[in-house]
Amino acid sequence: MILDNKLNITHQIELAKAEEKISKQKAKQLFDSGDIAKLEIGTFAGLAFIHAYLFDDIYDFAGKIRDVNIAKGNFRFAPLMYLDASLKHIDTMPQSNFDEIIEKYVEMNIAHPFREGNGRATRIWLDLILKAEIKQVVDWNQVDKEDYLSAMQRSVVKDLEIKALLKQALTDQIDDRALFMKGIDVSYYYEGYSEFKTEEL
Ligand SMILES: Nc1ncnc2c1ncn2[C@@H]1O[C@H](COP(=O)(O)OP(=O)(O)OP(=O)(O)O)[C@@H](O)[C@H]1O
Ligand SMILES: [Mg+2]
């Protein structure tokens, strides 16, 4: 089944390509315009801003809380019934050190507030918290795709693996443009998108 989209595309492969290209251009713009410095750190409002920024040209649901239940593998993300309460709770979670920030990230992943594009938007959100609170970001090039996805699957039960994996990839290069652009490419690669290089768009 293909998602309804503003581009009126009806073929999945074509939609995936257009989505990758347009939203990567937006990710680049988010950084280069300085808009990235304006958003709220560590709240659902901040995450919704990122999601809307990336996907507004493509989906009506950009930046909006989903209205269907979703699952991945055999894990069901937060049931709609509890989603609002969960997001309010996450807003109040502390974020003053690495462990607290990853715990918050894990909870936001469990919430999975959007219909599509959660992984990509939430990794940008995570890096902004790390940057603001501990003056470091993840160098996603140092995080293997299979290791990452298996640690995220595991994180709903135990967060030790994702903490260890992301900790060894921390860098002090928090304002490095090339690192940000490459991080977007890696983040998209995790989700199966690797047609375009953000830097070149
Ligand atoms: N089985 C799982 N249990 C918990 N979290 C998972 C699982 N599988 C994937 N994830 C996490 O969810 C993220 C994205 O998953 P998913 O594809 O469902 O979201 P999405 O909304 O389609 O986002 P995107 O389009 O960016 O991939 C992954 O990057 C990972 O962090
Ligand atoms: Mg997806």
Two structure tokens written together for 153 = 């699957």
Q: Is the pLDDT of residue 34 over 90?
A: yes
46: in domain? yes
pLDDT of residue 36 exceeding 90, the answer is yes
Residue 3 within any structural domain of the chain: no
Angle at Cα 18 formed by Cα 14 and Cα 21, nearest 5°?
140
What lies within 8 Å, CB to CB, of 149 at 6+ separation is 190
Q: What is the pLDDT, as a whole number, of residue 178?
A: 98
Q: Is residue 25 part of a domain?
A: yes
pLDDT score of 41: 98
Measured CA angle at 143 (ends 76, 32), to 5 deg:
95
Please report the pLDDT score of residue 15 as a whole number.
98
pLDDT at 50: 98
Instruction: Give me the mean pLDDT over the 132-155 stretch.
Output: 98
Task: Provide the pLDDT for residue 21.
Answer: 98
Q: How far does the centroid of ligand 2 lie from the alpha carbon of residue 191, in Å? A: 6
Domain tally for the chain?
A: 1
Say yes or no: CB of residue 72 within 6 Å of ligand 1.
Answer: yes
Mean pLDDT score, 113-127: 98
Atom 12 of ligand 1, residue of closest alpha carbon: 119
Is 2 among the domain residues? no
Question: Does position 92 have pLDDT exceeding 90, yes or no?
Answer: yes
Distance CA 190, CA 174 (A): 21
Instruction: Return the pLDDT at 54.
Output: 98
C-alpha 108/C-alpha 126 separation (Å) is: 10
Residue with CA closest to ligand 1 atom 24: 117
Strand 137-138 to 75-76 pairing:
unpaired
Q: Which of 165, 50, 60 is nearest to 106 (CA)?
A: 165
183 pLDDT exceeds 90?
Answer: yes
| Residue 92 structural domain | 12-200
Residue 4 within any structural domain of the chain: no
Distance CA 105, CA 43 (A): 11
Percent of the chain at pLDDT exceeding 90: 100
Pocket probe for ligand 1: among 109, 115, 159, the residue whose CB has the most ligand atoms within 8 Å is 109
Tokens 């269907």 correspond to 68
**Domain assignment of residue 51, yes or no:** yes
**Residue 50 φ then ψ, to 5°:** -60, -45
Domain of 82: which CATH number? Answer: 1.10.3290.10
Give residue 173's pLDDT band: very low, low, confident or very high (50, 70, 90).
Answer: very high
What is the per-residue pLDDT for 1? 81
Q: Which is the closest atom of ligand 1 to the Cα of 121?
A: 26
Residue 6 lies in a domain: no
Binding site membership of 153 for ligand 1 (Cβ less than 6 Å): yes
CB of 190 within 6 A of ligand 1: the answer is: yes
Ligand 1 centroid to 72 CA: how many Å? Answer: 7
In sequence order, the 6+-apart residues with CB closer than 8 A to the CB of 144 are none
- 1 occurs within a structural domain: no
Please tell me the distance between residue 119's alpha carbon and the centre of ligand 1 in angstroms: 5
Q: Is 109 touching ligand 1 by the criterion CB < 6 Å?
A: yes
Whole-angstrom distance, CA of residue 11 vs CA of residue 126:
32
| Mean pLDDT score, 108-132 | 98
Task: Look at residue 88 and tell me whether its pLDDT is greater than 90.
Answer: yes
